[in-house]
């Protein structure tokens, strides 16, 4: 076993869960709400739900891996991965995953990854505690894993956004509720509980751009970073407990940047809402010496765009943002870019029709000793900085930066 508890035999990637293309074509008729998709108040269903009510449909497929079992309270055991994918890694304290691709197989040998199966795999390793904090949970592979953990005697806590916590509307939530899983929400329609992280025991932190929905796991371009760090777990658990025990959501931060060392590299975390999220982006952009690359879903902050424009002619500027978001009236794309900057709208290639570019990623100076990557749940929007619960994570770990850069290049080349 390596440091992350991964088996040394390689594990084969299991076939993806089947989804009918016709179902997902429903999204081609949907409208994009202001500030984009999952960055809007509850009551407006973002892209990623699988029917007009925002719930996964019970569709046929091999094994019906994400339909509700006939026995609502009996969650199947999570099968261990087969040899070939959730791999041994050069840096066992960190593992980057991407739902679409990471072309450099040395950096990301098991991508693209079904993030739902990945989450279930790691949740299956919990022995004491499992804390899950995510805007929406609509993936039955994940809900099965949560229920299985509870049945093993693991202390399970679940936080959702209030727009996705009603068991009368959300099938996966009803499944969890029927199984006795305790969950809470923010009770604040005016803002989002938009953070996306999972804590496993006192050991592992899983930070993602993805909601725990089948669409985000399989179709949208997303990332998930697994980190072994008791120090980071402690910081994240403090944020979780503030919401769970104190029932305090959307509290403006004080600019605190939590710092830890993982595999010899620096990892920084900012919990939103906090204007420090914007300041960290601006700091990274201003400090770039060679290149600024970004891949972003909703980009409405003119402050961040101005910071990038200030670097025009001094460093390489390459970027992609979600094609539908680029057409939004609040998007910074409306005002254009400077000469020399290549910033392109991207429509992610998918077997399921339209898919979102759902990353929230900034990379500066890739391939150099000064390289950093910033990721997490926070879109580059006023809501993310001032009212939504968010996570921003930054690191200068060269292999993590390189993996994100490899994924960026895949999305950028797709957009050309």
How would DSSP label each residue in 150-192? HHTT-EEEEEE-GGG--TTT-HHHHHHHHTT--EEE---TTS-
* Catalytic annotation, pick one of 201, 258, 290, 303: 201
Closest listed residue to residue 161, CA positions, set 119, 201, 195: 195
* Catalytic annotation, pick one of 89, 171, 194, 360: 194
* Catalytic annotation, pick one of 196, 305, 358, 360: 196
250 CB-side CA count, 13 A: 18
Any catalytic annotation for residue 416?
no
Q: What is the DSSP letter of 59?
A: -
Any catalytic annotation for residue 303?
no
For residues 275 and 385, is the Cβ–Cβ distance under 8 A? yes
For the chain, report the end-to-end CA distance as a whole number of angstroms: 42
357 CB-side CA count, 13 A: 29
The Cα diameter of the chain in Å comes to: 62
- At residue 210, φ and ψ (nearest 5 deg) are -95, 140
Q: Is 291 helix (H, G, I), strand (E, B) or coil?
A: strand
For residues 378 and 73, is the Cβ–Cβ distance under 8 A? no
Any catalytic annotation for residue 201?
yes
For residues 74 and 381, is the Cβ–Cβ distance under 8 A? no
Q: Which residues are catalytic?
A: 194, 196, 201
């Amino acid at each position: 076993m390596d440091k992350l508890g991964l088996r040394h035999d390689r594990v084969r990637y299991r076939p993806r869960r089947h989804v009918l293309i016709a179902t997902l074509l429903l999204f081609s008729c949907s409208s994009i709400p202001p500030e984009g998709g999952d960055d809007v108040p509850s009551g407006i269903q973002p892209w990623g739900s699988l029917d007009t009510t925002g719930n996964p449909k019970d569709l046929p497929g091999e094994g019906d891996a994400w339909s509700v079992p006939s026995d609502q309270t009996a969650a199947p055991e999570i099968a261990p991965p087969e040899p070939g994918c959730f791999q041994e890694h050069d840096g066992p304290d960190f593992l980057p995953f991407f739902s679409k691709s990471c072309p450099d197989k040395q950096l990301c040998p098991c991508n693209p990854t079904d993030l739902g199966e990945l989450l279930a795999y790691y949740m299956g390793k919990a022995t004491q505690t499992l804390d899950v904090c995510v805007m929406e949970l609509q993936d039955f592979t994940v809900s099965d894993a949560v229920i299985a953990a509870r049945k093993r005697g693991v202390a399970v806590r679940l936080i959702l956004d209030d727009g996705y916590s009603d068991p009368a509307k959300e099938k996966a939530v009803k499944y969890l509720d029927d199984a006795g899983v305790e969950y809470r929400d923010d009770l604040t329609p005016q803002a989002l509980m938009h953070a996306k992280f999972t804590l496993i025991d006192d050991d592992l932190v899983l930070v993602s751009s993805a909601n725990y929905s089948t669409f985000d796991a399989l179709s949208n371009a997303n990332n998930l970073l697994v980190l072994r760090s008791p120090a980071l777990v402690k910081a994240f658990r403090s944020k979780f407990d503030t919401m769970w025990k104190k029932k305090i959501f959307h509290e403006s931060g004080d600019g605190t940047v939590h710092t830890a060392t993982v595999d010899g590299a620096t990892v920084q975390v900012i919990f939103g809402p906090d204007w420090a999220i914007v300041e960290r982006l601006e700091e990274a952009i201003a400090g770039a010496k060679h290149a600024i690359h970004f891949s972003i879903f909703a980009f409405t902050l003119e402050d961040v765009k101005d910071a990038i424009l200030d670097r025009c002619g001094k460093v390489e500027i390459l970027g992609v943002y979600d094609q539908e978001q680029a057409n939004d009236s609040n998007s910074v794309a409306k005002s254009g870019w400077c000469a020399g900057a290549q910033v392109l709208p991207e429509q992610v290639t998918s077997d399921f029709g339209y898919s979102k570019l759902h990353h929230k990623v900034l990379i500066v100076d890739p391939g150099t000793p000064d390289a950093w990557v910033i990721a997490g749940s926070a879109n580059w929007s006023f809501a993310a900085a001032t009212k939504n619960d968010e996570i921003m994570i930054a690191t200068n770990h060269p292999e993590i930066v390189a993996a994100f850069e490899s994924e960026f290049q895949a999305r950028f080349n797709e957009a050309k």
